[in-house]
Amino acid sequence: MTTPNPSNQTAGPAHSVHFESEEDICDGVDGIREADCEACEVDGTETEETTNDSSDADHFIQVRFDPHLDSIRRRKSSLHDENCENNMRAGSAFLHKILGNWEHVFDAADLVDGVEGCNLKKMTRNQLHDMVLGLREMGRKYSNVQLHMKVKDVFILTKPWDQSLVTQTREISKWLLENGYNVYIEDSFKCKPQFGADALFRELEITPGKKAGNLGYWTPKMCTTKPGGFDFVITLGGDGTVLYASWLFQKVVPPVLSFALGSLGFLTKHDFCSFRPTLESMFGESGVTVGLRLRFEGTIMRSLNRGDRSRDLQKELLNPEAEEESTHRPSSHGTKVVLNEIVVDRGPNPTMATTELYANDDFLTHIAADGVCVATPTGSTAYSLAAGGGLCHPALPGMLVTVICAHSLTFRPLILPDSMVLRIGVPYNARTTSWVSFDGRERCELHQGDYVTIVASQYPLPTVQYRMDNKDWFDSIKRTMNWGDRSAQQKPQ
């Protein structure tokens, strides 16, 4: 890794971070332990003390948070000098190296009280809290850092049934191929004559000395099995297209750049008409600013031996001596990762749904309503807002609990810490079943005794911002909701 002369660095509101290879990102991370320092510290300024002491002139940036450790580890790295033009970019999908070290199953023998997940993966409360804290600090720092990456493989997501978007997909694919990037589009484009892959290559205008990129086709299975094969995700559409990108990448997600071609656009910040200068700038010297958006994991737990009507869900969930494996098992649906919300509602039943809400090891309340919505800060502008919830800045860590059309007028929306474990269950004495959906997908029935566990996901969604520190969120709510606008008071004639 190239280390610039500290005396040449200048302080400023943003910092550029360069990595020369994938090994630079991970090598030595596990060997550096500084428990007495803040997580994700980025120091781009110099004082007299650091100038005089060369050992203090090093700069640090958090690049990986390992939930195995009691302490927070940080990676020593140099900050890029603005005058240095020869530094190479990071290797492909470098955020996978930063955030992709979560595939661990904790030893059940070390657990006191665990969080049940897919394939019986468990995490202690302290580990969950440390993981959330690490992601929170990492997101705070990356929102003020310009990242320079070596982008080679670009994943394009759009709505193939929309003919107008097919034309725009062809346009952006042509530009990327001409500039040497490998482009991956949905496999349904193979049979679209309007896209015309063969004719597209004949139309390419290659600059002498450059080589055209390759065109490939992705499938949903590739997003699950090989997410590291893509360096960048470009979405063409509205907020629903960004949600679909989150749904495809259930674990690590490449940075997502969204162009506004939909109807609303809370998540789509960039104008497609200027995609050429935008991509040239982001893939070139300007780099990108990434905001990590919190996602939730939801796991359905099915009740065993449901025929016993004398059972009590509260006793089964709160009794420390009860063995959860003997009363419930994970559903075959597995664990789902959502960007917006998890909703438990009455479904097709004509009457209200009766559910119970638990937080960690505490019973909170019975809920008689049309349903309950647990939303991320990103989802605060979606179903949660329509149900009466408040707006929440995406950098604010929290779990927004909003009851939908409650029978009691005493219910008010809640904002809980994102380190909590929420459970929403259907009591055994409930008159009707309930239904659960994950970002509006995978809708399935919850029978009496079933419940869904909701925790913060280990895999946030990195979105490319056009303003640092998530300030573009205020632009979004002003643009889409006319937030804070009012007509000027009329003067009397």
Task: Categorize the per-residue pLDDT at 325 as very low, low, confident or very high, splitting at 50, 70 and 90.
Answer: low
User: Which domains does the chain carry?
Assistant: 6-148 (no CATH), 153-292+460-476 (3.40.50.10330), 296-456 (2.60.200.30)
Measured on CA atoms in the order 15, 20, 21, 26, is the torsion positive or negative? negative
Give the pLDDT of residue 97: 54
The token pair at 437 is 């959906």
**Burial class for 70, CB neighbours closer than 10 Å (0-12, 13-18, 19+):** exposed
Single-letter amino acid code for the residue at 417: P
- 118-139 pLDDT tens trace: 333 456 767 777 777 777 777 7
The token pair at 447 is 């029978």
Distance of CA 306 to the CA centre of its chain: 36
At residue 279, φ and ψ (nearest 5 deg) are: -70, -40
Residue 464: is its pLDDT beyond 50? yes
Torsion of CA 31, 33, 39, 43, to 10 degrees: -80
Give the pLDDT of residue 258: 92
C-alpha to C-alpha distances, 490 to 393, 422, 485, 487, nearest whole angstrom: 33, 50, 15, 8
Give the pLDDT of residue 321: 67
The set of residues, in sequence order, having a beta carbon less than 8 Å from that of 136 and lying 6+ positions away, is: 397, 418
Q: Please state the pTM of the whole predicted model.
A: 0.74
Mean pLDDT over all residues of the chain? 75
Q: In the structure, how many helices (H) and strands (E) does the chain have?
A: 13, 25
* H helical segments located in 307-464: 313-318, 324-327, 383-386
CB 342 within 8 A of CB 399: no
Alpha-carbon span 218 to 185, nearest angstrom: 6
Give the pLDDT of residue 99: 55
- DSSP assignments along 33-89, one per residue: --TTS-TT-------HHHHH-GGG--EEE-----TT-SSPP-EEEPBPPTT------
Task: Categorize the per-residue pLDDT at 320 as very low, low, confident or very high, splitting at 50, 70 and 90.
Answer: low
SS3 400: strand
**Burial class for 164, CB neighbours closer than 10 Å (0-12, 13-18, 19+):** exposed
CB 382 within 8 A of CB 375: yes
Give the pLDDT of residue 407: 92
- 170-213 pLDDT tens trace: 999 999 999 999 999 999 898 888 898 889 988 998 888 888 99
- 210-247 pLDDT tens trace: 889 999 999 999 998 888 889 999 999 989 999 999 99
